[in-house]
Structure 1
């Protein structure tokens, strides 16, 4: 009887050691970043200038997020306030841990957007930003035009790759959330037959 108990204890101890080892390997393995996508050459298009605000853009973002969340097993939300805020939770063993990431948006000259990570809260624990972004990238099903770049602590939004109806393309011209000044150019391709 004593020998069986000792074997069961050693087996449980070995299992715990393997779990800790796998977690350590996952946490300390290098993070592979993707390269920034190249911007495709623009075809001839008619352009429309659009000025928006956080309230209206939050409605559009909610529509996109709800569509993407339907394909995923996790729950997350994105809001525009004075910064871009990403809320969600992640399963750790049998518990759900809340997190909040904040980003400063920047409209690039090529019309795409970079979200530079500014703050992070994961439960009551401070974790390295790169690990949290890597976990988000690996856990969530983001659209192809959203690139999570943990090593650079940013998210790259390739608006030129975003698929919209009527082949409409979007270029970000200005994003100033503090002044609620958000400007885009909508490009509608015209056929030259």
Structure 2
């Protein structure tokens, strides 16, 4: 009888060990479960991935003017943007086979929808200060501007629709803050993830 208890104990122990080895083998051989990222979990409601960017005037000046140089190759208007405590635009205005120096100054305002309004402060052609609405109307009517840039002469401002702005790889930009006096510039890059 004692021999039978040892035999029974041995076979029970052998069965437990075999079951444990079998369970461990099944767990090891099972495929790894992948976590699925749900589209639109970034709060945008789209399949885009959001990258929050914080920058300063100096760096943004470099980026803006790089893109303006590229755009100037395909445009009739040559201009440069300088971010100081306000947005300053320098360029030339062709008039009767002459190139007139042009300076426009704007105060930027970020909107909740991610767009940007540039409220006109002053315009000068050469040393002559001109009415803002007149020059803005002339610029709007004379130049082929991107769809994202909407000149509103009556309101004396330029509306920049960031959703319509065409960037490489269908990346979109949403402006969050644009405070030049505090050198606090924040925006979100929305990069397509599909």
- Superposition TM-score, scaled by structure 2 size: 0.71
- When residues 46 and 91 of structure 1 are mapped into structure 2, their CA distance, relative to the original with a 3 A threshold, is closer
Which of these residues, 149, 154, 162, is aligned with residue 151 of structure 1?
154
Which of these residues, 123, 126, 144, is aligned with residue 123 of structure 1?
126
State the aligned residue count: 151
Q: How far off is 1:144 after superposition?
A: 1.5
Instruction: Please give the root-mean-square deviation of Cα atoms over the aligned residues, in Å.
Output: 1.7
Which of these residues, 172, 180, 184, is aligned with residue 181 of structure 1?
184
Gaps of 5+ in 1: 1-40
Q: How far off is 1:112 after superposition?
A: 0.6
Structure showing greater Rg: 2
**Whole-angstrom CA distance in 2 between matches of 1:170 and 1:98:** 31
Classify the secondary structure of the residue corresponding to 1:183. Answer: strand
Question: Relative CO higher for 1 or 2, CA cutoff 8 Å, sep ≥ 6?
Answer: 1
- When residues 42 and 139 of structure 1 are mapped into structure 2, their CA distance, relative to the original with a 3 A threshold, is farther
Aligned to 1:21: none
Which of these residues, 131, 136, 140, is aligned with residue 133 of structure 1?
136
Q: Are 1:71 and 1:141, in contact at CA under 8 Å, matched by a contact in 2? A: no
- When residues 95 and 169 of structure 1 are mapped into structure 2, their CA distance, relative to the original with a 3 A threshold, is closer
- Superposition TM-score, scaled by structure 1 size: 0.72
Q: Which moved more, 1:152-161 or 1:137-146?
A: 137-146
- When residues 140 and 70 of structure 1 are mapped into structure 2, their CA distance, relative to the original with a 3 A threshold, is farther
For residues 73-127 of structure 1, the C-alpha deviation after alignment (integer angstroms, 9 at most, x for no partner) is 2321111111000111223324332121100001100001000001122223232
**Whole-angstrom CA distance in 2 between matches of 1:169 and 1:74:** 25
- When residues 42 and 116 of structure 1 are mapped into structure 2, their CA distance, relative to the original with a 3 A threshold, is farther
Gaps of 5+ in 2: 1-43
